[in-house]
Amino acid sequence: MVVLRFTRYNRPVNLDDTIVAIATPPGRGGIGVVRIAGPRAREIAEPMLRLKHPMEPGRAVFGELIEPCGSGVSSFQFPVSSDPNTRTQKSETGDSPRIDEVVVTYFAKPHSYTTDDIVEISAHGSPVVLRHVVELCVTAGARLAEPGEFSMRAFLNGRIDLTQAEAVRDLIDSQTLYQAKVAAQQLEGALSKRLQPIKQKLVELIAALEAGIDFAEDDVSVMPDRAILERISAVREPLDQLALSFAYGKIVHEGLTLAIVGRPNVGKSSLFNRLVERERAIVTATPGTTRDLVSETVAIGGIPIQLVDTAGIRQALDEAESIGIRKSMEALADADLVLIVLDASQPVSVEDEELLRHAQNRPTIIASNKCDLAVSGQSVVSGQSSKVRTSALTGEGISELRSEILRHIGGEIGGEIGGKSGAQAEAGFLTNIRHQRLVKDSLAALEAASIAVAGRIPHEMLLLDLYNALRPLDAITGATTTDDILNLIFRTFCIGK
């Protein structure tokens, strides 16, 4: 019997359907892959294939893509020739024109990504050929897959949990190798494994309190308040550490913005070009060359960082420069990290001091640039700011500047990066705002439970808070996630994944 188990975009999705989609990016390429998944995957694929060997699970087979008899699909028109040397090859059942050479891989259920039968046809990356394969599959009874439906099936069939499904998307969207490594850790279940012992402790506490209530007449001991508080604390402490990891995980996932600010002609654009490692911004000896914001994203230690070169901050000489300076101040206010560039060959000016005041209480690095020139008594009191001596001309101090940027990113949390290690080296940190909100909800419920214990609230009521703490943790992995949340997650996937 066919069972409807899920709803996508306000319409039912039949998980017993056979679905098909192009699994490679749009456009032309050397190879294009069409993925077919479901109970009829082999039945639909075999008529359009002439293979050297029969399909076997886990084996790639070379063959030909042919026009199946009676397909009714007319995307291709084949010329008729009287010359026997130019005719297409014959199959055992008659003439079958060859469309392309293909490699076919068969994954038998349940040993596949979705736990269904899956057939993947790898052809040359012609959009026309790939679309034609999809049309043949649809004509034979397959349905076009929704965005993320292959991963959705893998989740609903228990092949992966929700954190792993989200890691698939993160891996595809990775901009740096470090992001890919973090996503791969999540795909292996790093976050789920970190949550599992926390959930286990909470479930054991709930079970003990339930037993004390249900079997009070059988002399089952009631847990004293002190013991309950200790066990709540044993759940809260690792959950607090997990919540703290989001500050760094968010940067790993999304990157950050670094604004380069300073007076005209202190070398902002030259430092920008050094960090970008190419001549991205125009550099001249004339002060005020940069009038607008110039941005470029680079990877520093595996973290995507958007560098923003700004106009020199001084008393504006014309309207265009005034607009540029205003944008510079906006960039300083919006940036996650500020790089203030000073001229090491000159004393600190009034403009420098004003800029330093604006950057107070912001994560700030001071680059004392032009250190290859004679220093004329520069002295800066920067509070919490760190100072690096650089020369954009010679390259001196650039590696130290990159290291200082990474130090500001890592702080006391984060992941192993740029040769650094620490608390951040632990796998399974939060990179997703959905996860962070659920962890905060769980912590809030645990706080309410602690208050209830202190107020000597009956255990029946205390259990409500503990269950409220457990449900968000289940929702992270998908154990208690609603259809609306699943729709929101999987609609962001590409079709074919």
Q: Which segment, 208-212, 293-297, 353-357, 364-368, is predicted with the most confidence on average?
A: 364-368
What percent of the chain lies above the pLDDT cut of 70?
A: 79
pLDDT at 240 over 50: yes
- Bridge partners of 196, per DSSP, are none
Q: Identify whether the C-beta of residue 342 lies closer than 8 Å to the C-beta of residue 266.
A: yes
Q: Rg of the chain's alpha carbons, rounded to an integer?
A: 31
The CA-atom distances, in angstroms, between 31 and each of 20, 23, 144, 382, 494 are 17, 11, 21, 56, 18
The pLDDT value given to residue 54: 92
pLDDT at 449 over 60: yes
The answer to whether the Cα torsion of 310, 313, 316, 322 is positive or negative is positive
Mean pLDDT across 51-75: 82
Q: Tokens in use for 425?
A: 């080296």
The pLDDT value given to residue 88: 38
**Structural element, H or E, at residue 387:** strand 386-389
Domains of the chain from N-terminus onward:
4-160 (3.30.1360.120), 172-245+430-478 (1.20.120.430), 254-424 (3.40.50.300)
pTM (predicted TM-score): 0.76
- Look at 218 and 359; give whichever has higher pLDDT: 359
Looking up tokens 């001309």 gives 393
Query: For 22-54, what is each residue's pLDDT tens digit?
Result: 999 888 889 999 999 999 999 999 999 999 999
Q: Tokens in use for 399?
A: 């590696």
Mean pLDDT across 11-17: 70
The pLDDT value given to residue 314: 62
The pLDDT value given to residue 491: 75
pLDDT at 228 over 50: yes
- Is residue 84 very low, low, confident or very high in pLDDT (cuts 50, 70, 90)? very low
The pLDDT value given to residue 75: 52
CA-to-CA distance for 475 and 147, rounded, in angstroms?
Answer: 22
Q: Determine the Cα angle at 44 with ends 39 and 45, to 5°.
A: 110
Q: Tokens in use for 477?
A: 């992995």
pLDDT at 421 over 50: no
How does the average pLDDT of the chain come out, rounded?
81
Q: Identify whether the C-beta of residue 137 lies closer than 8 Å to the C-beta of residue 45.
A: yes
Secondary structure (3-state) at 63: strand
Q: Identify whether the C-beta of residue 424 lies closer than 8 Å to the C-beta of residue 414.
A: yes
Please name the amino acid found at residue 97.
Answer: P
Q: Determine the Cα angle at 372 with ends 371 and 375, to 5°.
A: 55
Residues 6+ apart with CB under 8 A from 141: 18, 40, 44
Q: Determine the Cα angle at 488 with ends 161 and 431, to 5°.
A: 60
Query: For 189-223, what is each residue's pLDDT tens digit?
Result: 999 999 999 999 999 999 888 877 765 555 555 78
Q: Which segment, 346-355, 363-372, 411-420, is predicted with the most confidence on average?
A: 363-372
312 secondary structure, DSSP code: P
Please name the amino acid found at residue 117.
Answer: D
pLDDT at 325 over 60: yes
CA-to-CA distance for 130 and 140, rounded, in angstroms?
Answer: 16
Number of C-beta neighbours around residue 72 at 10 A: 9
CA-to-CA distance for 364 and 393, rounded, in angstroms?
Answer: 23
Helices 459-477/433-454 angle, 10° precision: 170
The pLDDT value given to residue 492: 76
Mean pLDDT across 227-256: 92
Secondary structure (3-state) at 464: helix
The pLDDT value given to residue 2: 39
DSSP string, 187-243: HTTHHHHHHHHHHHHHHHHHHHHHHHHHTGGGTPPPPPHHHHHHHHHHHHHHHHHHH
Burial of 62 (0-12, 13-18, 19+ CB in 10 A): exposed
Secondary structure (3-state) at 176: coil
Q: Which segment, 219-228, 257-266, 317-326, 347-356, is predicted with the most confidence on average?
A: 257-266
Alpha helix segments (H runs only) across 455-479: 459-477
Q: Identify whether the C-beta of residue 470 lies closer than 8 Å to the C-beta of residue 476.
A: no
Query: For 472-492, what is each residue's pLDDT tens digit?
Result: 999 998 876 667 667 777 777
Query: For 94-125, what is each residue's pLDDT tens digit?
Result: 467 889 999 999 999 999 999 999 999 999 99
Q: Identify whether the C-beta of residue 306 lies closer than 8 Å to the C-beta of residue 256.
A: yes
